[in-house]
């Protein structure tokens, strides 16, 4: 019985069934009262019936979409032409002229409303305010239910009074009036255009309809007028009419919302699919997931809290650009991102971000943040490094903040050592200390950035593994930072080699800089000669603190006194230092600015750890090692964060790492 009643209700609410039934009813009534199925050819009869049918047609097929003065114009022009064409049939010219003036006024006001509206001015502008007021007026008066009712009632009156005033109270007149009232009672919002008897469950989670596709994963959705409560990161599901299988429903999030041409619409990003269980989901209709348990499960499954943004145009193999859109605004330079390309899990590191704007339609624009990240590649646990991926991810590929807790790092021992980790991950940056020393290591950065701290950490590890440390220091800082038990003053190379302590060379403060260079040169020659004569001696690491005082760039030698003599000394020390690696003597160069240090020495440092820097000379020099994208990140590096690259690093790709020890 319930099914029967439901099917009957569906039929009654079908606009085509209603129109057909109404047509049959009118013809039946006309035959009952006038003994003819069709109205007479009299003009008054024709327009009387035309009026009632225009009301019916307007309510059933036009009014649901009736929203602007344009629709009023399409209604009033035919009426104006109608009254002009039947002017000769009117005996009462005053009444005819009144009708012409009313219809013409509605038409003129509609045109004025459209003409005054100015998209380039605010809604508060007097033109737009007046346009809105007139729009509401003409849309109300000019709708089919109102304007065609006036036509119907007018011709009904003319039809009846032309015969006899007594006709107003007869059964035909009353029946027609009742029928007109029933037509007005039809609610167009309750009607449907389908003949399906399948009961549709009213779903309050419907929010809009897919009307376009930007890419394979980004869909454009026009939101329903009464469903504008949707916001960014809401979880949604939908079937798309062009998808391969109906067995699955697309799941995703609202990526962004826009107000465009007085309509609100959204971008919806696909993040996954789920097996269909609720079969009543209509194609292209987007449903907001409000059930708390289902929503929380999908947030976890789709990793929405770690969602960062999507790939945008301008991306390259080695560097991606992405539109930033994170639920919690906590992304920082150096953070690791991940995305999927097929079955590969690729990692990228954030190096920068700028504000950009996106053009929607015409002059409409919206702002967003464009992030940049360099490719590290696919993590290879067996090699403790990344493998580069040779192609570009597709536009609108989702990007997430990397979670590396599922990667189990294999153990490693000396000379491999964990220099640091990629910020906020468990992935180590591993350095081979033996190669770092033998092929020279440069630690660069401004005062307080962490280079001396890192140097002491490396020295402790080298000392534990039978490497002799000799530190040349003019600052006096090393004696303060290291305990006296670990230190010895360098006096003789043989004594220093036999001892397990850190040998410290501290030259007395002298006014003659040339003398400082000569003293340093003498010590270096002594160390080099010993290593050359004793090939089986332990490795030696020469630490050059404030390297610009020991091996300065030749352009600064004029400030040191005798330029020619000083240049000869620096060149000699540079050659000694560089040739020393053949005999197990390596350098650890510490400097604040690359501009002040001998480029002969710096260019031979095959491993570089660069902390925060600000000078253009350093940027120009370092861009050859770490690339222009990472160079731009140098001024913003945190304390104890550095960019590392070179021969001794397990991963030969430049990257930002966190060197802080917990």
Q: What is the pLDDT of residue 512?
A: 43
Q: Which of 287-301, 339-353, 425-439, 524-538 has the lowest mean pLDDT?
A: 524-538
Q: What is the pLDDT of residue 362?
A: 45
Task: Give tens-digit pLDDT for 10-36.
Answer: 666 677 777 777 778 777 777 777 777
How many C-beta atoms lie closer than 10 Å to residue 69's C-beta?
Answer: 25
Dist. CA 497–CA 482, nearest whole Å: 19
Q: What is the pLDDT of residue 35?
A: 75
Angle (deg, nearest 10), helices 513-533 and 563-579? 20
Average pLDDT value for residue range 512-529: 79
Radius of gyration of the chain (CA): 42
Q: Which of 52-56, 324-328, 589-593 has the lowest mean pLDDT?
A: 52-56
- For residue 255, name the pLDDT band (cuts at 50, 70, 90): very high
List residues bridging with 471 in a β-sheet: 504, 543
How many C-beta atoms lie closer than 10 Å to residue 125's C-beta?
Answer: 14
Q: Which of 196-205, 600-609, 626-635 has the lowest mean pLDDT?
A: 196-205
Task: Check: CB of residue 592 under 8 Å from CB of residue 446.
Answer: yes
Dist. CA 502–CA 463, nearest whole Å: 8
In this predicted structure, the answer to whether residue 367 has a pLDDT above a threshold of 80 is no
Pairing of strands 344-359, 365-380: antiparallel
In this predicted structure, the answer to whether residue 42 has a pLDDT above a threshold of 50 is yes
Q: Give 302-306 contacts, CB < 8 A, sequence gap 24+.
A: 302/235, 302/251, 302/252, 302/253, 302/271, 302/272, 303/271, 303/400, 304/233, 304/235, 304/253, 304/271, 306/400, 306/401, 306/403
Name the token pair of 492. Answer: 């003789």
Q: Which of 2-6, 9-13, 367-371, 380-384 ranks highest by mean pLDDT?
A: 380-384
Task: Check: CB of residue 641 under 8 Å from CB of residue 334.
Answer: yes
Name the token pair of 29. Answer: 């009534």
Average pLDDT value for residue range 218-224: 91
Q: Which of 22-36, 154-168, 386-400, 463-477 has the lowest mean pLDDT?
A: 154-168
- Residue of 263 and 257 predicted with greater confidence: 257
Pairing of strands 263-275, 468-472: unpaired
In the chain, % of residues over pLDDT 90 = 32
Q: Which of 104-118, 296-310, 330-344, 393-407 has the lowest mean pLDDT?
A: 104-118
Task: Give tens-digit pLDDT for 458-514.
Answer: 999 998 888 999 998 877 788 888 888 888 888 878 788 778 889 998 866 544 467
DSSP secondary-structure letter at 634? G
What is each CA distance from 353 to 188, 196, 331, 373, 422, in whole angstroms?
51, 53, 10, 9, 19
- For residue 433, name the pLDDT band (cuts at 50, 70, 90): very high
In this predicted structure, the answer to whether residue 202 has a pLDDT above a threshold of 50 is no
Q: What is the pLDDT of residue 522?
A: 85
Dist. CA 124–CA 607, nearest whole Å: 64
**Which one, of 544, 521, 538, lies nearest residue 584 by Cα?**
538
DSSP class per residue in 502-522: EEEE-PPP-S-HHHHHHHHHH
How many C-beta atoms lie closer than 10 Å to residue 8's C-beta?
Answer: 11
Is 213 in a helix, a strand, or coil? strand
DSSP secondary-structure letter at 60? I
Is 655 in a helix, a strand, or coil? strand
Q: What is the pLDDT of residue 7?
A: 58
Q: What is the pTM of this model?
A: 0.70
Helix/strand/coil (H, E, C) string of 102-163?
A: HHHHHHHHHHHHHHHCCCCCCCCCHHHHHHHHHHHHHHHHHCHHHHHHHHHHHHHHHHHHCC
Pairing of strands 468-472, 502-505: parallel
How many C-beta atoms lie closer than 10 Å to residue 19's C-beta?
Answer: 16
| Angle 628-632-634 from CA coordinates, rounded to 5° | 120
How many C-beta atoms lie closer than 10 Å to residue 95's C-beta?
Answer: 13
Whether omega for the bond prior to residue 507 falls within 30 degrees of 0, making it cis, is no
Q: What is the pLDDT of residue 146?
A: 80
How many C-beta atoms lie closer than 10 Å to residue 574's C-beta?
Answer: 19
- Residue of 9 and 233 predicted with greater confidence: 233
In this predicted structure, the answer to whether residue 341 has a pLDDT above a threshold of 90 is yes
- Give me the half-sphere count of Cα atoms (radius 13 Å) on the Cβ side of residue 354: 6
Q: Which of 80-89, 246-255, 580-589 has the lowest mean pLDDT?
A: 80-89
Is 268 in a helix, a strand, or coil? strand
Angle (deg, nearest 10), helices 144-161 and 69-85? 20
Task: Walk across the sheet containing 487-489 and list its strands.
Answer: 428-432, 416-421, 655-658, 641-646, 607-610, 441-444, 585-591, 540-544, 468-472, 502-505, 487-489
Name the token pair of 659. Answer: 């060197």
Q: What is the pLDDT of residue 587?
A: 92
**Which one, of 573, 596, 593, lies nearest residue 585 by Cα?**
573
Dist. CA 615–CA 595, nearest whole Å: 9
State how far Cα 258 lies from the chain centre. 14
State how far Cα 481 lies from the chain centre. 47
Dist. CA 361–CA 587, nearest whole Å: 60
Q: Give 149-153 contacts, CB < 8 A, sequence gap 24+.
A: 149/51, 149/55, 149/180, 149/184, 151/47, 151/50, 151/51, 151/54, 151/79, 152/48, 152/51, 152/52, 152/54, 152/55, 152/180, 153/51, 153/180
Name the token pair of 364. Answer: 């409409």
Instruction: Quote the strand ranges of 200-247, DSSP E.
Output: 206-213, 218-223, 235-238
Task: Give tens-digit pLDDT for 615-657.
Answer: 888 899 999 999 988 999 999 999 999 999 999 999 878 999 9
DSSP secondary-structure letter at 283? B
**Which one, of 410, 48, 4, lies nearest residue 197 by Cα?**
4
What is each CA distance from 82 to 88, 103, 378, 577, in whole angstroms?
12, 11, 76, 104
Pairing of strands 428-432, 248-260: unpaired
List residues bridging with 321 in a β-sheet: 372
In this predicted structure, the answer to whether residue 197 has a pLDDT above a threshold of 90 is no
- For residue 363, name the pLDDT band (cuts at 50, 70, 90): very low
Average model confidence (pLDDT) across the chain:
82
Place of tokens 């000694």: 576
In this predicted structure, the answer to whether residue 154 has a pLDDT above a threshold of 90 is no
- Residue of 29 and 544 predicted with greater confidence: 544
Q: What is the pLDDT of residue 403?
A: 94
Name the token pair of 449. Answer: 């950035």
- For residue 267, name the pLDDT band (cuts at 50, 70, 90): very high
- For residue 150, name the pLDDT band (cuts at 50, 70, 90): confident
Q: Which residues 6+ apart lie within 8 Å of 139 measured at CB?
A: 66, 67, 68, 69, 71, 72
């Amino acid at each position: 019985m319930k099914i029967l009643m439901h099917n009957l209700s569906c039929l009654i609410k079908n606009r085509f069934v209603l129109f057909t039934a109404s047509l049959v009813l009118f013809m039946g009534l006309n035959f009952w009262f006038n003994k003819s199925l069709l109205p007479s050819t009299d003009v008054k009869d024709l327009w009387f019936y035309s009026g009632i049918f225009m009301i019916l047609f307007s309510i059933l097929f036009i009014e649901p979409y009736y929203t602007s003065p344009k629709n009023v114009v399409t209604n009033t022009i035919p009426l104006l032409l109608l009254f002009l064409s039947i002017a000769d049939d009117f005996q009462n010219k005053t009444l005819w002229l009144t009708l012409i003036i009313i219809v013409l006024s509605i038409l003129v006001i509609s045109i004025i409303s459209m003409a005054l509206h100015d998209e380039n001015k605010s809604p508060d502008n007097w033109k737009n305010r007046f346009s809105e007021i007139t729009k509401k007026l003409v849309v109300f008066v000019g709708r089919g239910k109102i304007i065609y009712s006036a036509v119907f009632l007018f011709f009904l009156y003319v039809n009846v009074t032309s015969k006899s005033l007594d006709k107003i109270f007869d059964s035909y007149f009353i029946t027609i009036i009742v029928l007109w009232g029933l037509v007005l009672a039809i609610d167009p919002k309750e009607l449907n255009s389908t003949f399906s008897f399948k009961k549709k469950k009213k779903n309050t989670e419907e929010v809009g309809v897919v009307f376009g596709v930007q890419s394979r994963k980004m869909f454009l959705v026009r939101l329903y007028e009464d469903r504008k409560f949707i916001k960014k990161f809401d979880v949604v599901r939908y079937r798309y009419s062009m998808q391969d299988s109906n067995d699955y429903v697309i799941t995703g999030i609202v990526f962004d919302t826009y107000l465009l041409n007085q309509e609100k619409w959204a971008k919806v990003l696909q993040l996954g699919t789920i097996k269909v269980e609720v079969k009543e989901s209509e194609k292209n209709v987007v449903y907001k997931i409000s059930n708390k348990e289902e929503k929380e499960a999908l947030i976890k499954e789709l990793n929405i809290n770690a969602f960062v943004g999507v790939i945008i145009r301008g991306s390259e193999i080695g560097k991606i650009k992405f539109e930033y859109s994170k639920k919690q605004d906590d992304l920082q330079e150096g953070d690791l991102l991940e995305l999927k390309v097929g079955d590969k899990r690729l990692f990228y590191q954030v190096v920068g971000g700028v504000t950009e704007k996106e053009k929607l339609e015409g002059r409409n624009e919206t702002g967003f943040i464009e992030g940049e990240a360099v490719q590290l590649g696919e993590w290879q646990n067996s090699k403790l490094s990344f493998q580069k991926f040779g192609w570009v991810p597709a536009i609108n590929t989702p990007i997430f903040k990397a979670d590396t807790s599922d990667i189990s790092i294999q153990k490693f021992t000396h000379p491999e050592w964990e220099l640091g980790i990629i910020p906020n991950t468990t992935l180590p940056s591993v350095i081979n200390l033996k190669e770092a020393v033998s092929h020279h290591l440069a630690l660069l950065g401004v005062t307080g950035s962490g280079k001396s701290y890192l140097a002491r950490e490396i020295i402790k590890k080298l000392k534990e593994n039978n490497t002799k440390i000799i530190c040349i220091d003019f600052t006096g800082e090393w004696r303060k930072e290291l305990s006296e038990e670990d230190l010895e003053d360098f006096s003789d190379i043989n004594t220093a080699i036999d001892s397990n302590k850190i040998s410290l060379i501290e030259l007395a403060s002298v006014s003659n800089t040339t003398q400082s260079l000569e003293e340093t040169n003498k010590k270096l020659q002594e160390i080099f000669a010993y290593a050359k004569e004793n090939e089986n001696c332990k490795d030696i690491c020469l630490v050059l603190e404030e390297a610009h005082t020991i091996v300065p760039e030749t352009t600064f030698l004029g400030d040191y006194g005798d330029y020619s003599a000083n240049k000869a000394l620096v060149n000699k020390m540079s050659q000694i230092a560089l040739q020393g690696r053949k005999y197990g003597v390596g350098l650890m160069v510490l400097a604040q600015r690359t501009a002040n240090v001998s480029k002969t020495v710096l260019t031979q440092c095959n491993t570089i750890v660069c902390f925060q820097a600000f000078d253009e000379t350093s940027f120009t020099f370092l861009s050859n090692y770490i690339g222009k994208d990472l160079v731009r990140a140098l001024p913003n590096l945190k304390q104890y964060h550095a960019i590392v690259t070179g021969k001794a690093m397990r991963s030969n790709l430049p990257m930002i790492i966190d060197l802080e020890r917990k």
